[in-house]
Structure 1
């Protein structure tokens, strides 16, 4: 997985995507939703991490954006994301969470 941490005025923003998804665009079933896994957001300054390292970052995150079965699966298993709140876009999973 690729992980990027950005400190913002509102707290830590964590972006995690599965390997191989950079540059891909995924459409919703009715094409009403589209997600592009951009180099700027998910790749620039990214570090290749395992599930344990991703969880350490998610534990500190104020906001997280997750794309891919591995990234979203790790967040679900740890209780950061509920399965019912995950979007399916052309077979790719996407989720976000915000800690308030």
Structure 2
């Protein structure tokens, strides 16, 4: 899984995706979503490294089957909050 962390003061944005979906362009109706290399391609990480980053995140943007399944397994996202865009699972996390 690719992981990229953005920090701005107290805010921590985690962008993570499966290696297989990086760079893909997804379509849903008239909407186009790009799993951008610029935004998501940080370092390839283990599940443990992803978990640590997600625990610290105030916001997370996640794409891909493996990434989403792991976040659900850890209790970090609710399975009901996952949407499917062009056959690729996607979820966002916002902590307030």
What TM-score, normalized to structure 2? 0.91
Tell me the SS of whatever aligns to 1:71. Answer: helix
Match of 1:16 in 2: 16
User: Residues 56-95 of structure 1 correspond to what in structure 2 (within 5 A)?
Assistant: 56-95=52-91
Aligned residues: 96
Alignment RMSD, CA only? 1.3
Return 5+ residue gaps in structure 2 as ranges: none
CA deviation map 1:37-85 (0-9, x unaligned): 0111111xx1100111100100000100000001111111111111111
Query: In the TM superposition, what are the counterparts of 1:43-62 in structure 2 within 5 Å?
Result: 43=41, 46-62=42-58
Task: Report the 3-state secondary structure (helix = DSSP H, G, I; strand = E; otherwise coil) of the residue aligned with 1:14.
Answer: strand
The TM-score, its normalising length taken from structure 1, stands at: 0.88
For the residue of structure 2 that corresponds to 1:94, the secondary structure is strand
